[in-house]
Amino acid sequence: MACGFILLDKPHGLSSQQAIYSLRKKLALPKVIKIGHGGTLDPLATGMLVIALGSATKFLGYLLNANKTYVVTAKLGQVTTTLDAEGEILSECPVPELKPSDISDLFEQFTGPLEQIPPMYSALKFQGRPLYHYARKGQDIIRPPRAVHIYELILQNLEKQSFSFISQVSKGTYIRSLVHDMGQTLGCGAHVQALHRSQVDPFLTNQMVSVDQLCLSRLLEIDTIFAHFPSLRFNADEIKKLKSGQKLNASEHQNLTSLKNSSINCLYRAYDAHDNQFIALVKIDEEGRIKGEKWV
């Protein structure tokens, strides 16, 4: 049964759910195979959509904290309802003469930890419904600011009415809100004209495949996203105990004879010693005992 991750280079115009439907149809996957994605991309956006198949869907939650990299084009002089090119224009202002140094100064103000108000046109839930449900009815819901981190902003191109840049950001960052706030700081307003997600850590740009290139041979193994975790191997008896909820003494495990305090509560990739297959994530608790965390 199909199991693993596909990094789809989502085309413009498709919602994340439509992209999943296209993948299921292209690969002729039966309905019994679960499919999910790790991080929504707006229809306007293109780029990396992490899609999990089968038991890999159990591990999508571990991608929630992943940093992401985007290539962004900001249109200056216009504010829209959706904060991107798909919305209606709310206001227009003259664009000042800008130099690359002006954008560099702007980027300095928006690099590092900051608080950001999510856009009304987003999938963020309020009383069980996505915010865009209220936005389409003309309702404005008070949204508390969220703490995000902008790690890097690199200017690619500056024109009279727009500029393009690369942004590396933390989880929960809305690029539309970032561009809107930049436009407010410049005094002319701005919205996202184009957006491409080039990377979701730890995956690489060159691992993406287009809709036309979709095939099961491009599936990435589940443990790909945990390559930075140390690994442990267990025999059949140990696996049976862990699966039943029992804990193993870490100090007696052959791979953990030099266990240090820093390893407590760290996650490990667990493999079957017989066939070297990834079987689970395990954790060492405060008592120094190994317990199962998430099974394939």
* CATH number where 239 lies: 2.30.130.10
Same domain, 105 and 170: yes
- The per-residue pLDDT for 135 is 85
Query: How many domains, in total, are found in the chain?
Result: 3
Same domain, 58 and 85: no
Domain interval for residue 270:
229-295
Same domain, 96 and 132: yes
Same domain, 196 and 207: no
Query: pLDDT tens digits, residue range 63-80?
Result: 988 999 999 999 999 999
Same domain, 74 and 196: yes
Q: Please indicate, yes or no, whether the overall pTM of this predicted structure exceeds 0.85.
A: yes
Same domain, 136 and 72: yes
Same domain, 60 and 206: yes
- Average model confidence (pLDDT) across the chain: 92
60, two tokens: 């999508």
Q: Give catalytic residue positions.
A: 42
Same domain, 9 and 127: no
Query: pLDDT tens digits, residue range 217-268?
Result: 999 999 999 998 988 999 999 999 999 999 998 877 766 644 454 466 788 9
Query: pLDDT tens digits, residue range 146-174?
Result: 999 999 999 999 999 999 999 999 999 99
Query: pLDDT tens digits, residue range 18-61?
Result: 999 999 999 999 989 999 998 889 899 999 999 999 999 999 99
